[in-house]
Structure 1
């Protein structure tokens, strides 16, 4: 399940008071299922990435999904990110 602001306790106050809300999810968990089914090697590569979503931005755009490669053996993320090319979903099942 994709983590959203509404998943937090007191989310209405958080959404109201915060100037910016960023959410971090594992890419494998939030990418649409059809990206995972036909290419297992690519699906495993998704485990190496995290998706940063700008849920709220009072001073600019929100709803932006960026991906960063995990480098947890070094305790960090790769500093150069990019926009997510694949379709993301809130639940694993996606209906067009």
Structure 2
């Protein structure tokens, strides 16, 4: 399960202790992604994604490198991804680096 994987990365010694935080983070990421895809204004959608990522990762003490959503879209289009119109959850997950 995705939640268990997130929890295991946040607290390898005791994943159950952060499972609720992992569920919360996953829900925030999914909601941010859905709302950003519903917006017609690409710039606003990208701003929403950036803020949603910061809001999700901040309470988890996770560092974040700013997204390059245009680059993600270009790569997805090159590889024939059905999600070439915006970042996928996997692309968003690739933007974070968990602190050791």
- Looking at secondary structure, tell me which structure has more strand per residue: 1
**Alignment TM-score, normalising by the size of structure 1:** 0.28
- TM-score, normalized by length of structure 2? 0.28
Q: Which structure's residues are more often helix, by fraction? A: 2
